[in-house]
Structure 1
């Protein structure tokens, strides 16, 4: 009970205690089912609920399956459904002479047939809801669906009945199925088996007698199942490996030093990998009763506090260095770990990179980085610098001539700061000036005829160097390049159509018209001696 109530308020503990005490009013057989249902309910709620992962509960017989369902419903923390065969079919360890149990199973079956119409629809609808819906979270079975059942989200197997030989192995195989989300990212590497009846001790015998496994090496078969205690043994090592990345930081309380160290992209990637491995192992450990009872409270607190610290550090550097948020940042098991063991107010939320072209929103985020926090000028400058760098890279192909200039300027500022050639204040001033130049296109020196026409302005940036190499007069260069830019963009606009980039004829027609214009108008009429090579490059 103490394990289940860790971190709960007094009111929540009192409510749970009432449910816990309910077992005293039951006979011994039902007490066992109730206490297991209580444990299953709390284990799933604390570790898996809301992650998208599901569980199966294997009951010893149909009557027991219905009692598990009734107790889980009474506890009210998780949703469940029962899948069994008709009352006249033997399943599990059914006691034929248990009249009361038989009556309950018959009554349940009649309700299901009335609701679903047929056994096939009963099975199909509940299984599909389990596979693809949010509910039920737990599917209660006896023999059905233990083998030949493909539901990759099925991650936890609660064994409340003895399974033998191939049935045991296939049940483990089903829960061990890999699972990828809609984006194709793997979010499940293995499943979990919670054994209430000591059946896993017979796994060695099952492995040796199962004919389908003939020819496999014993060592390969042993990894079919790993004790959770073996996995939790890796926690101190994962914890140490995470801290080892920051061994050069003299003051462990210096958050700015941690963030600056992670300016290196490869080191950040290594940090993310180690943090993910640590968090996953900690999640497994905290789902184990033995780990919680055997680990000193001070050590448990240190593990949780370090998780909180490094998750917040990850959020800070993602924002500081303008990194995209991807699926790995929201791994469901890690999110559940944070939700269960760390207060939401203590965890910094990950945000998408800041858009420098939304001045109001950008300034708000920058100010929030300073107000009420210990963020340095360098941290704010880094955020501006890397957000600007990201914006430049995203737009580089739109206007190479303009953005390449600022790309070099922003990288030079970052390099100078890392080499300590700039103070925090100088760095902030320089990157702010560069960011403002990118946003306002300051220094673009566009002719008035191109104002408001970003596409023609981009073409102008490409054409101007070619024109300038043949003309000495700056004003004439600007006028000629601007007129040519508008003409070239008009050609493209005339030929543009839906599916343009898939239409080779439209592309060739555009290129031929541009080539004719450069040859007839720019070279012929204007006297700009563009070479064939220059025209091809344009």
Structure 2
């Protein structure tokens, strides 16, 4: 949709995970680098399993920390859009586990928003093709609610609690996917197939509010086809486009991974 002084063009920062995968594949075919070392450096990223929430959380956290967290004077926030309430619960548990195992990121907290309550049995045996398999285990009689999964919010309205500095990531399942304004939202990780064009636009438009210093957004889409996203926005803006390569940070991430392998060095300026 058109840019103005009041909204940002979220399609400028849109990249599908499939695109990122192919960028990585092309890099491995470059004869100027050691293919085996490059594969070791990028294997975990490229082999992301479509239904493994733990792997996706690792990817999201790495992307968020490297590209998003420092923005807006370290106040930038992200939203993870999941396919169902059980998926949202699994994502929250996976985020909590990741942060607990990485104390250097202890200042980053994720909250989850969903309606009603779920039992452990419902979460473990959900009919949701985005979370099949995996290692998630819990007591079948366990109960999951917004209240007990967001203890730090202390019962505060999640719209208000999410504005607090410690909450950087909000995981949603329908609730807050649309009709929620948080101008510090800079990134969205989309793990939900959206067929309705109006819903596509409304969902991605959570990012388009302006904020001092906010001049870019990121959308990482794990499941939708970019052309479907473009067509949805074209209903409102005939010039809506998604560039073939949108997220230049993908290239820098690959460079950093290769740098860590030590397969080349900076020779310095040529005399």
CA distance in 2, matches of 1:172, 1:114: 24
Match of 2:86 in 1: 63
- 1:16-27 aligned at under 5 Å gives the runs none
User: Does residue 160 of the first structure (1) align with residue 196 of the second (2)?
Assistant: no
Secondary structure of 1:188's partner?
coil
CA distance in 2, matches of 1:110, 1:173: 24
Contact 2:110 / 2:171 at 8 angstroms: preserved in 1? yes
More helix by share: 1
Q: Deviations over 1:79-100 (max 9, x none)?
A: 2010001148xxxxx639x9x9
- 1:471-482 aligned at under 5 Å gives the runs none
CA distance in 1, matches of 2:139, 2:199: 28
Which ranges in structure 1 are unaligned for 5 or more consecutive residues? 4-16, 89-93, 181-186, 231-283, 306-538
Secondary structure of 1:137's partner?
strand
Q: Deviations over 1:286-339 (max 9, x none)?
A: x31x454479969x998xx9xxxxxxxxxxxxxxxxxxxxxxxxxxxxxxxxxx
CA distance in 2, matches of 1:113, 1:74: 13
Contact 1:66 / 1:105 at 8 angstroms: preserved in 2? no
CA distance in 2, matches of 1:40, 1:127: 22
Which ranges in structure 2 are unaligned for 5 or more consecutive residues? 1-23, 25-40, 100-104, 119-125
Alignment RMSD, CA only?
A: 4.2
Secondary structure of 1:108's partner?
strand
Among 149, 166, 170, the alignment partner of 2:202 is 170
Match of 2:169 in 1: 138
Task: Name the CA shift for 1:81/1:116 in 2 (closer, same or farther; >3 Å).
Answer: closer
CA distance in 2, matches of 1:101, 1:199: 32
Contact 1:176 / 1:189 at 8 angstroms: preserved in 2? no
Contact 2:194 / 2:224 at 8 angstroms: preserved in 1? no
Scaled by the length of structure 2, what TM-score is found? 0.58
Contact 2:88 / 2:173 at 8 angstroms: preserved in 1? yes
Contact 1:87 / 1:105 at 8 angstroms: preserved in 2? no
Task: Name the CA shift for 1:291/1:115 in 2 (closer, same or farther; >3 Å).
Answer: closer
Scaled by the length of structure 1, what TM-score is found? 0.31
CA distance in 2, matches of 1:106, 1:226: 45
CA distance in 1, matches of 2:199, 2:138: 25
- 1:148-297 aligned at under 5 Å gives the runs 148-164=179-195, 165-180=197-212, 187-208=213-234, 210=235, 213=236, 216=237, 218-219=238-239, 221-222=240-241, 225-226=242-243, 229-230=245-246, 285=248, 287-288=249-250, 290-293=251-254
Contact 1:63 / 1:105 at 8 angstroms: preserved in 2? no
User: Does residue 85 of the first structure (1) align with residue 104 of the second (2)?
Assistant: no
